[in-house]
Structure 1
């Protein structure tokens, strides 16, 4: 815990001013780096759950959780930054009142949070979190409700990560890849997930027309990966057409688009791959 002068009132005032100063400096540093609000502002629980897809929830109980894993809020995103420092002086009196109570050793009730993977989002108790962090405490008691999501809640440290997760979720709802295929179709550009979904659905439609038989979504996803994606990616690898650090799915989409642009057909052979050679990404 931070130092004490022996006066809870004076110390609480200093605690608040220090927290505000650090928040202002952090926001300024973020703007200088070009981060803007993306990794400085508190994360929105609703945005995270919308991106990952909400499946279920269950009450875990009361436990002690690490303060540095509390990254966002249900309804006060603008009032605190990512480290729960106050973004204005609007709630100064309430903040300092809690700080005084904490310094006097008064009992502070548990906060209420949603847990999404290793991340926590505050439902009630924002000021208690802010005061605890401002005073150098590293853990806090919380009533925890766990949220189960469609996608794994990992790699969501910035809003750009949420956009990519959102489009990946939509793609997997349309094309339910599993296992090896699910991992292989990862891309960096969020928009590519929509292209993948359309590509698989178009392939499935052509196959059903040719075979005169219905194909459900799981079957379509599995067959497209085994009969289309994997053989083509192998051809791309053999031809040396995958760029440095280029994901296999991105290479597939690039060459497939080039193929159709050049010859307006959906067949694959060595000549098609060779004709697509000019589209190989250059080294940076």
Structure 2
């Protein structure tokens, strides 16, 4: 019987202290107040044994507190932001475990949070990429762009800075980089990503993301435009990707696009 009780025992939340021991960090920074995805909150700093992995309370005393908060939310009360520590793409609750529990129970997708991010040391490819993504998000305010290769976030930042320059020229006044990033995301990035989805281009690039393909297509568009002396446009660049044979490897696909352009 003990064996079967152990087999069905609920797992508690991830421990922040245990995660901290697994990683190398060079410090931390305050990211301020942001809206974060509830599903990315995976652990707790001090109370990880009080909740299961879905933030359901494991102690009877917690359940009454949970009900109080749920009733307050259903009455329309606005709860204060939670406090979290961020490690790469995961969040650990410092203060607000019950608020997260209620949010998960009610199916809430996002929650306001004050974020302290722990910065990983550049001791692995994964850590380098995590830092590049974090820096990009901090500068631009964009958090939905996932790249899998080192150095690609710099390319997107260059596009946003160029977009910022032209927006400022049109308006006759300086535009902030975050405003330019939002406009670039809405009017340049998203329309191309929607075409990538429509054409199902990602099927031919296993292990990559829509954001990766956006960078590949942007690179090809720029290089081919330089070669021809005029802007070929994104539609032509996307058409080139559609013409790939699905069985070829990613390396071969990228090589075929760029081999005559350097």
Larger Rg, first or second structure (1 or 2): 1
- For the aligned pair, the TM-score class normalised by the smaller chain equals 0.3 to 0.5
Where relative contact order (Cα < 8 A, 6+ residues apart) is larger, the structure is 1
